[in-house]
Amino acid sequence: MKRKLIIILAAVLLFTGCASNNKQKVTTSEHAEVENITSEKKEEEEKNFDIDLSNLEDTLSQFEDVTNIVYEGKDKLLVITDQMYLIDIVSGEILAQSPDCDYVEGEIKVYSNEKNIIIVGKKYPVSEDGFVFYDENDEEQPRVEVLYFDKQLNLSKKINIFEMFALDPFLVTDVAVSADGKLAIYEDSSNGLYLCNPDTKEKEEILCAKDNELVYDNKLQFRIANEIAFGENDSKIIFGAACMDYPFKDGEESITGYGSVTLNGKELYVEKAVDEYKNMDVFSKFAIVSQECGFTSPTGEILKYSFSDNKTEVIQLKSKEESNNLYSSSEGNILASSEENGNTGWNIRFYNTNSGELIGEWAYNALSSESYRSPRIYVFENQNIAVLYFGTLEENGKDVLYVMQL
């Protein structure tokens, strides 16, 4: 399982996921046909109709060439075009903007605390033949950077993983940031997980493979595959995994899994899931593990993995298709999903993460699934507001941002 130092650029997609680098147009639908098909709580509905969302709709309709949208804390949205914009969901006001964001071409990870907005991003030199050779003195060397902004989106600090911790940026699969600013970094070639301190520039091993193998409980061989994050009050690293039975048998294929390890590396837990459970949203006390189906069909089931007792429970959604289109709210207490409604639109559903109960269902019929992708859904649970982002399938079409009250 030795890895070659010559890296094919296609491997970079493992970090960036399936994010498209194509620039996209965004507008707000003024006449969207949305029908609430759960009507038990009329008093709550009447209360919601009193909330004016027009300012937020007007603000979102200004943006073109949107490359990314992510949460920033509980009630703010970070919208990235050729600049970055920090938007208050309640007022619809643009709180800050930054002109410098050439490093966020694909998927990024965003963290925030009282003083900083922290962005983890990757950038690579372009090669026509698919191969890249470089050394540390190359001006076009690949970079994994952690960037610290203040709340006005002024860049205050930039950390280059390659320079500070001697970890190859082509082989760094993921980076996570703790509340106190420490970095968890997984490096693929050594199958190693490291805890790094940017202030002291120290690097400690949490997990390090023996003969390039990580083994759990003498029964599972694994590698960290698709996600790392801090959890359990920053006392553990949570990760997605590719698992095989141990000892490894020739011809055996890995299946996806997930697990956790304490920062000292002493308490390790790994659990197999099934092959298509590839997405993980991590919160303070639990993670939601959902499907990304390729050759198989979605099951309508998702997993909730609790860190304190390493227990997993299954949440059953209303339809099978939903588990392939799942999104978590800003704090994880609400899950949102979509299901195509023929070619006339989508059914948008919201679930209580703790109970699994369906708490709201809407039919969105303003757009056709023949012309638009299934929506990405952002739920701000403090305000009961959801932002739906529909990507166009048409060459000259415009993406749509729609704002709704739950």
341-373 per-position pLDDT tens digit: 888 899 999 999 999 999 999 999 999 989 999
Query: What is d(CA 238, CA 303) in angstroms, rounded to the nearest whole number?
Result: 14
Q: What is the pLDDT of residue 38?
A: 65
Q: Is 341 domain-assigned?
A: yes
Q: Is 391 domain-assigned?
A: yes
Q: Is 1 domain-assigned?
A: no
Q: Is 406 domain-assigned?
A: yes
Confidence class for position 20, pLDDT limits 50, 70, 90: very low
Q: Is 221 domain-assigned?
A: no
What's the total number of domains in the chain?
Answer: 1
Q: Give the other-Cβ count within 10 Å of 384's Cβ.
A: 17
Bridge partners of 85?
79, 97
Closest CA to 350 of 339, 365, 342, 366: 339
Q: Which residues of 18-55 are buried (b: 16+ CB within 10 A; e: fewer)?
A: eeeeeebebbbbeebebeeeeeeeeeeeeebeeeebee
- Each residue of 90-148: pLDDT tens digit? 999 999 998 766 555 556 888 988 889 999 987 766 555 555 555 555 555 667 889 89
Q: Is 73 domain-assigned?
A: no
Scanning 158-308, the segments in alpha helix (DSSP H) are 161-165
Q: Is 348 domain-assigned?
A: yes
Range(s) of the domain holding residue 377: 25-66+331-406
Q: Is 386 domain-assigned?
A: yes
- Each residue of 271-323: pLDDT tens digit? 998 768 888 999 999 999 998 877 778 889 999 999 999 999 999 999 999 99
